[in-house]
Chains A and B, each alone.
Chain A
Amino acid sequence: MAMQELPKKDFFAPLKAWKFLGKRPVTIEVPNKVKREASDRYRGFHINDWSKCIGCGTCSKICPTDAITMVEVPGLVRDHGKLPQRPVIDYGRCSFCALCVDICTTGSLQMTREYIHVSDDAEDYVYMPTEKGLNAKRGLYEHGKAPLGWIKDENSDILDLVRVKMPMEEPEVRVKSFIEIVKGYSKEQAQQEAARCVGCGICTYTCPEHMDIPQYIESIYKGDLEEGLRWLYRTNPLSMVCGRVCTHRCESSCSVGVRGEPVAIRWLKRYIIDNVPFEEYDRILNIRPEKKGKSVGIIGSGPAGLSAAYFLSTMGYDVTIYEANARPGGVMRYGIPRYRLPDEALDKDIAFIEALGVKILVNTKVGQEIGFDEIAKKHDAVFISTGFGLGRSTRVPGTDHPNVKQALPMLKMIRDYLRGDGPKPPVPRKLIVIGGGNVAMDISRSMARLQTMEYGEVNVHTLSLERSFEEMPADMDEIEEALEEGVEFHPGWGPIEIVIEDDEVKGARFKKCLRVFDENHRFNPQFDENNQIFIEADMVIEAIGQAPDYSYLPQELQEKLEFVRGRIKTNEYNQTAIEWLFAGGDIVHGPDIIHGVADGYAAAKGIDMYLSKK
Chain B
Amino acid sequence: MGEVKLFFGPNHPGMHGNFSVHMYVEGDVVKRARPLPGFLHRGFEKLMERRYWYSNIALIPRICVPEPDINEACYAMGVEKIAKLEVPERAQWIRMIVLELARIANHLMAVGGIGGPIGLYTAPQWGTADRDRILDIFEALSGARVYHMYIVIGGVRKNLTPRIEDMIWKTMDYIESRLPDYENLIFKNRILHSRLKGRLILTREQALEMGVTGVGLRATGVEYDVRKVDPYLFYDKVDFEVPTATDGDAFSRVYLKFKEIPQSIKIIRQALEKMPQGDKVNVPVSKGSALRRIVPKGMAYVHIESARGEYGFFVVSDGKNKPYRVAVRGASYPQGLYGIEKYLPGTRIEDVPIWLATMDVCAPEIDR
Mask, B178-199, CB within 8 Å of A = 1, is 0001011101101001000100
Interchain CA distance A365-B121 in the complex, whole Å:
101
| Residues A64 and B291 in contact, CB atoms below 8 Å apart | no
- CB contacts (< 8 Å) of B143 on chain A: these are 39, 41-43, 98, 111, 149-150
User: Looking at chain A, what size class is its interface with the partner chain?
Assistant: 35 or more
Known contacts A99-B54, A155-B158; is-contact A195 B289 (Cβ 8 Å): yes
Task: Tell me which of B185, B288, B291 contacts A62 (CB under 8 A).
Answer: B291
Known contacts A3-B245, A42-B143; is-contact A97 B292 (Cβ 8 Å): no
- CB contacts (< 8 Å) of B287 on chain A: these are 160, 164, 192-193, 195-196
| Residues B185 and A16 in contact, CB atoms below 8 Å apart | yes
Residues 168 to 210 of chain A near chain B (Cβ within 8 Å): 192-199
Interchain CA distance A39-B245 in the complex, whole Å:
40
| Residues B139 and A195 in contact, CB atoms below 8 Å apart | no
State whether the Cβ of B118 lies closer than 8 Å to any Cβ in chain A: no
- CB contacts (< 8 Å) of A61 on chain B: these are 291
Leading 3 A-B pairs by shortest Cβ distance: A195-B288, A158-B290, A192-B287
Q: How far is the CB of B192 from chain A (nearest CB, A)?
A: 9
| Residues A195 and B140 in contact, CB atoms below 8 Å apart | no
- CB contacts (< 8 Å) of B255 on chain A: these are 3-4
State whether the Cβ of A570 lies closer than 8 Å to any Cβ in chain B: no
Interchain CA distance A64-B152 in the complex, whole Å:
14
State whether the Cβ of A256 lies closer than 8 Å to any Cβ in chain B: yes
- CB contacts (< 8 Å) of A160 on chain B: these are 284, 287-289
Mask, A102-120, CB within 8 Å of B = 1, is 1100000001000000000
- CB contacts (< 8 Å) of B193 on chain A: these are 6
- CB contacts (< 8 Å) of B185 on chain A: these are 16-17
State whether the Cβ of A95 lies closer than 8 Å to any Cβ in chain B: yes
Interchain CA distance A111-B157 in the complex, whole Å:
15
Q: How far is the CB of A23 from chain B (nearest CB, A)?
A: 11
| Residues A195 and B183 in contact, CB atoms below 8 Å apart | no
| Residues A6 and B52 in contact, CB atoms below 8 Å apart | no
Q: How far is the CB of A484 from chain B (nearest CB, A)?
A: 26
Task: Tell me which of A4, A150, A192, A197 contacts B286 (CB under 8 A).
Answer: A192
| Residues B290 and A99 in contact, CB atoms below 8 Å apart | yes
Can you name 14 extra interface pairs (CB under 8 A) apart from A3-B251, A6-B193, A97-B58? A39-B139, A40-B140, A41-B139, A41-B142, A65-B58, A95-B147, A97-B57, A103-B291, A155-B280, A156-B157, A158-B284, A159-B290, A164-B287, A197-B289
- A-B residue pairs in contact (CB < 8 Å), sample of 24: A6-B190, A6-B193, A7-B188, A39-B143, A40-B140, A41-B158, A42-B139, A42-B144, A43-B143, A97-B57, A97-B149, A98-B143, A99-B54, A111-B143, A155-B155, A155-B279, A156-B157, A158-B284, A158-B290, A195-B286, A196-B288, A196-B289, A196-B292, A197-B289
| Residues B159 and A41 in contact, CB atoms below 8 Å apart | no
Mask, A144-172, CB within 8 Å of B = 1, is 00000110011110111000100000000
Residue numbers of B with Cβ under 8 A of A are 51-52, 54-59, 129, 132, 136, 139-144, 147, 149, 155-159, 181, 183-185, 187-188, 190, 193, 197, 243-245, 247, 251-252, 255-256, 259, 279-282, 284, 286-294
- CB contacts (< 8 Å) of B144 on chain A: these are 42-43, 96
| Residues A156 and B282 in contact, CB atoms below 8 Å apart | yes
State whether the Cβ of A122 lies closer than 8 Å to any Cβ in chain B: no
| Residues B251 and A155 in contact, CB atoms below 8 Å apart | no
| Residues B158 and A156 in contact, CB atoms below 8 Å apart | yes
- CB contacts (< 8 Å) of B259 on chain A: these are 1
- CB contacts (< 8 Å) of B197 on chain A: these are 6
Known contacts A1-B245, A43-B144, A156-B282; is-contact A198 B188 (Cβ 8 Å): no
Instruction: Give the interface centre of A3, A17, A98 by most chain B CB atoms within 10 Å.
Output: A3
- CB contacts (< 8 Å) of A1 on chain B: these are 243-245, 256, 259
Interchain CA distance A281-B290 in the complex, whole Å:
34
Q: How far is the CB of B310 from chain A (nearest CB, A)?
A: 21
Residues 52 to 66 of chain A near chain B (Cβ within 8 Å): 58, 61-65
State whether the Cβ of A547 lies closer than 8 Å to any Cβ in chain B: no
Interchain CA distance A480-B183 in the complex, whole Å:
73
Task: Tell me which of A3, A40, A58, A97 contacts B291 (CB under 8 A).
Answer: A58
Interchain CA distance A26-B287 in the complex, whole Å:
48
State whether the Cβ of A38 lies closer than 8 Å to any Cβ in chain B: yes
Interchain CA distance A42-B147 in the complex, whole Å:
12
| Residues A95 and B157 in contact, CB atoms below 8 Å apart | no
Q: How far is the CB of A324 from chain B (nearest CB, A)?
A: 47
- CB contacts (< 8 Å) of B291 on chain A: these are 58, 61-62, 103, 198-199
Residue numbers of A with Cβ under 8 A of B are 1, 3-4, 6-7, 16-17, 20, 26-27, 38-43, 58, 61-65, 95-99, 102-103, 111, 149-150, 153-156, 158-160, 164, 192-199, 221, 256
Interchain CA distance A155-B94 in the complex, whole Å:
14
| Residues B51 and A64 in contact, CB atoms below 8 Å apart | yes
- CB contacts (< 8 Å) of B159 on chain A: these are 153, 155
Interchain CA distance A164-B286 in the complex, whole Å:
12
| Residues B188 and A6 in contact, CB atoms below 8 Å apart | yes
- CB contacts (< 8 Å) of A7 on chain B: these are 188
Interchain CA distance A193-B136 in the complex, whole Å:
41
Instruction: Give the interface centre of B54, B245, B287, B289 by most chain A CB atoms within 10 Å.
Output: B289
Q: How far is the CB of B323 from chain A (nearest CB, A)?
A: 13
Instruction: Give the interface centre of A95, A149, A158, A195 by most chain B CB atoms within 10 Å.
Output: A158
Residue of A with least CB distance to B252: A3
| Residues B292 and A195 in contact, CB atoms below 8 Å apart | yes
| Residues B140 and A39 in contact, CB atoms below 8 Å apart | yes
Interchain CA distance A131-B367 in the complex, whole Å:
41
- CB contacts (< 8 Å) of A159 on chain B: these are 289-290
Residue of A with least CB distance to B54: A158
Task: Tell me which of A17, A43, A192 contacts B288 (CB under 8 A).
Answer: A192
Known contacts A4-B183, A41-B140; is-contact A195 B54 (Cβ 8 Å): no
Residue of A with least CB distance to B189: A6
Q: How far is the CB of A382 from chain B (nearest CB, A)?
A: 47
Known contacts A149-B143, A153-B158, A199-B291; is-contact A95 B245 (Cβ 8 Å): no
| Residues A155 and B282 in contact, CB atoms below 8 Å apart | yes
- CB contacts (< 8 Å) of A16 on chain B: these are 184-185
Interchain CA distance A158-B184 in the complex, whole Å:
49
Interchain CA distance A7-B185 in the complex, whole Å:
11
Interchain CA distance A119-B252 in the complex, whole Å:
48
Interchain CA distance A20-B181 in the complex, whole Å:
10
Q: How far is the CB of A316 from chain B (nearest CB, A)?
A: 39
Task: Tell me which of B139, B158, B188 contacts A4 (CB under 8 A).
Answer: B188
Residue of A with least CB distance to B287: A192
Residue of B with least CB distance to A105: B289
Q: How far is the CB of B18 from chain A (nearest CB, A)?
A: 18
- CB contacts (< 8 Å) of B54 on chain A: these are 62, 99, 158
| Residues B290 and A221 in contact, CB atoms below 8 Å apart | no
Residue of A with least CB distance to B128: A26
- CB contacts (< 8 Å) of B55 on chain A: these are 62-64, 99
Interchain CA distance A63-B55 in the complex, whole Å:
7
- CB contacts (< 8 Å) of A39 on chain B: these are 136, 139-140, 143
Q: How far is the CB of B6 from chain A (nearest CB, A)?
A: 31
- CB contacts (< 8 Å) of A27 on chain B: these are 129
Q: How far is the CB of A459 from chain B (nearest CB, A)?
A: 42
Interchain CA distance A16-B183 in the complex, whole Å:
12
Residue of B with least CB distance to A98: B143
Interchain CA distance A17-B286 in the complex, whole Å:
57
| Residues B156 and A155 in contact, CB atoms below 8 Å apart | yes
Residue of B with least CB distance to A1: B243
- CB contacts (< 8 Å) of A111 on chain B: these are 143
- CB contacts (< 8 Å) of A164 on chain B: these are 287
Q: How far is the CB of A288 from chain B (nearest CB, A)?
A: 35
Q: How far is the CB of A27 from chain B (nearest CB, A)?
A: 8
Q: How far is the CB of A216 from chain B (nearest CB, A)?
A: 15
Known contacts A4-B183, A26-B129; is-contact A197 B292 (Cβ 8 Å): yes
Residue of B with least CB distance to A161: B289
Interchain CA distance A40-B159 in the complex, whole Å:
13
- CB contacts (< 8 Å) of A150 on chain B: these are 143
Instruction: Give the interface centre of B51, B143, B279, B287 by most chain A CB atoms within 10 Å.
Output: B143
